[in-house]
């Protein structure tokens, strides 16, 4: 009889807001316990900043586990891969003496982001004017669009130069008529083939059937950490559509984006900032000028992928509670708590006012959500620096009250609190 899989090892780190929750730091912190780290969705629109010994690493496609030599890092089939950017990222890591070799695996089924995806992303955004989504212009929407339309080019195609060139030429016919309809300059196959075939050669040693690899790891009871990109409200289904990204960033994306089944996932850690941020357009009921200015003046909240200042606001418990439900969150990680250090009073949204009604849930109609006004509960601030705290007891009483308040509102326990960017500035509860 086969040995039953009894160990509860595999964990998902998922964002509960609009991305940039500090997932990279939590992954990096938990990676010690893991054998493999896996990206399952998104592409180089993601940007995870990790600070180790005051050295800053920004990773877009490579899973954060790469900074630990013994971990296997997997780019799953649900990711859209920009080969040129991936080569640059690997090169930058190697220049910084980070080991990148057989510890990195790229799915042969992942779809490739090509220059026309980026071009169409930009042309569409420009054409939309003030209705734009505010994308990262990394070609994410058009690449996932091609995948859904069944005209995408996959990594396995890219690995075969002749097949790649042929598919590219076929695809460019339709793409170029679209490009021209937006007034853009058509793209030729020649300008793409050479750099992409070169990148393909560079990436070839890393390309694998990651479904088989992941199942092997699972069978051997290896501990797998799934690294979410973006956040719940950027999910193509569960987010504030159309102001979303084009993948399933939430828990469901883990299974379609890796080929592992739901029973291979044992724990979900939801990551959220102690306040809320968003980049790009779209509704954000608790957005607040004062807190935006405060955080920006501290040099905080500038996007790691685009450098754009993020929009900032109070913590929205209605939103986070919804994300806890959608993802089946078992534990919460609260990040950037020190961002609130100087405040006298701290507000938390506990409901919305909409046309004389009180809503206790996130409306699915984005046009309704745009008109929602937050109802706040207030907490007393702690008004002192907490970045030096290393335990629950070392946190001021008002900080503890704030955290307990969030737990009550979200009906989930907090297990990790981050009080600064460094690895050691993390409290385990
Ligand atoms: P796209 O993913 O580039 O198509 O952008 C769609 C929306 O998702 C825009 O509002 C982006 O600002 C947002 N977005 C995409 N990736 C991230 C991320 O890693 N953090 C925060 N927002 C993101």
DSSP 205: G
d(CA 224, CA 221): 9
- Collapsing DSSP to helix, strand or coil, 266 comes out as coil
Q: CATH 3.90.170.10 in the chain: give the residue spans.
A: 272-429
d(CA 39, CA 33): 17
Q: Are 159 and 198 in contact (CB under 8 A)?
A: no
- Which residue lies with its CA nearest to atom 1 of ligand 1? 135
- Which residue lies with its CA nearest to atom 5 of ligand 1? 135
| Active-site residue, selected from the candidate residues 28, 35, 48, 316 | 48
- Residue 162 appears among annotated catalytic residues: no
- Collapsing DSSP to helix, strand or coil, 101 comes out as coil
Q: How far is the CA of 287 from the centre of ligand 1 (A)?
A: 17
pLDDT of residue 29: 86
- Nearest alpha-carbon partner for 211 in 64, 103, 109: 109
Q: How far is the CA of 377 from the centre of ligand 1 (A)?
A: 29
Burial grade of 348 (CB within 10 A; 0-12, 13-18, 19 or more): buried
Contacts 24+ apart (CB under 8 A), 365-370: 366/240, 366/241, 366/242, 366/243, 366/282, 366/283, 369/240, 369/283, 369/285, 370/283
d(CA 194, CA 205): 19
Burial 108-124 (b: 16+ CB within 10 A, else e): bbbbbbbbbbbbbbbbb
Q: In which residue ranges of the chain is pLDDT below 50?
A: 1-7
Looking at the structure, give the CATH architecture of the domain made up of residues 272-429: Alpha-Beta Complex (3.90)
Q: CATH 1.10.300.10 in the chain: give the residue spans.
A: 111-205
**Structure pTM?**
0.95
Looking at the structure, give the CATH architecture of the domain made up of residues 111-205: Orthogonal Bundle (1.10)
pLDDT tens sequence across 339-358 = 999 999 999 999 999 999 99
pLDDT tens sequence across 294-344 = 999 999 999 877 788 999 999 999 999 999 999 999 999 999 999 999 999
Is the CB of 276 inside a 6 Å radius of any atom of ligand 1?
no
d(CA 427, CA 334): 10
Positive or negative, the CA dihedral 290, 296, 301, 306 is positive
d(CA 312, CA 336): 12
- Nearest alpha-carbon partner for 407 in 303, 315, 300: 315
- Residue 48 appears among annotated catalytic residues: yes
- Which residue lies with its CA nearest to atom 21 of ligand 1? 19
Q: How far is the CA of 278 from the centre of ligand 1 (A)?
A: 9
Tokens of 118: 């980026």
Burial grade of 368 (CB within 10 A; 0-12, 13-18, 19 or more): middle
């Amino acid at each position: 009889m086969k040995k039953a899989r009894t160990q509860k090892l595999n964990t998902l780190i998922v964002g509960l807001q609009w991305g940039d929750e500090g997932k990279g730091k939590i992954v990096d912190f938990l990676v010690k316990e893991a054998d493999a780290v896996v990206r399952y969705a998104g592409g180089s629109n993601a940007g995870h900043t990790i600070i180790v010994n005051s050295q800053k690493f920004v990773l877009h496609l490579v899973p954060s586990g790469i900074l630990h030599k013994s971990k296997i890092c997997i780019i799953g089939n649900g990711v859209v891969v920009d080969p040129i950017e991936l080569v640059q990222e690997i090169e930058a890591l190697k220049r910084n003496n980070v080991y990148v070799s057989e510890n990195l695996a790229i799915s042969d089924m992942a779809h490739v982001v090509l220059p026309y995806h980026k071009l169409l992303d930009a042309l569409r955004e420009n054409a939309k004017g003030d209705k734009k989504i505010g994308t990262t212009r990394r070609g994410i929407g058009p690449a996932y669009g091609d995948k859904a339309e069944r005209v995408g080019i996959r990594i396995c195609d890219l690995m075969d130069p002749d097949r790649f060139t042929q598919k590219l030429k076929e695809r460019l016919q339709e793409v170029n008529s679209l490009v021209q309809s937006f007034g853009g300059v058509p793209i030729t196959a020649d300008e793409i083939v050479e750099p992409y075939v070169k990148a393909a050669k560079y990436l070839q040693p890393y390309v694998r059937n990651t479904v088989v690899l992941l199942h092997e790891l699972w069978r051997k009871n290896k501990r797998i950490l799934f690294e979410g990109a973006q956040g719940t409200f950027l999910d193509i289904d569960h987010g504030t559509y159309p102001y979303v990204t084009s993948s399933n960033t939430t828990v469901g994306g883990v299974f379609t984006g890796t080929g592992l089944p739901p029973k291979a996932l044992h724990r979900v850690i939801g990551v959220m900032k102690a306040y809320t941020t968003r980049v790009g357009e779209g509704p954000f009921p608790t957005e607040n000028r004062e807190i935006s200015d405060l955080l920006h003046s501290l040099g905080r909240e500038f996007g790691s992928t685009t450098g754009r200042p993020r929009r900032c606001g109070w913590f929205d418990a209605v939103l986070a509670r919804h994300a806890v439900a959608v993802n089946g969150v078992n534990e919460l990680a609260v990040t950037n708590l020190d961002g609130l250090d100087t405040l006298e009073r701290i507000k938390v949204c506990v409901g919305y006012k909409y046309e004389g009604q009180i809503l206790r849930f996130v409306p699915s109609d984005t046009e309704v959500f745009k008109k929602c006004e937050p109802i706040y509960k207030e907490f007393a601030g702690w008004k002192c620096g907490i970045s030096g705290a290393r335990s629950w007891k070392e946190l001021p009483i008002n900080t503890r009250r704030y955290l307990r308040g969030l737990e009550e509102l979200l009906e989930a326990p907090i297990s990790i609190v981050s009080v600064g960017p460094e690895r050691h500035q993390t409290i385990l509860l």
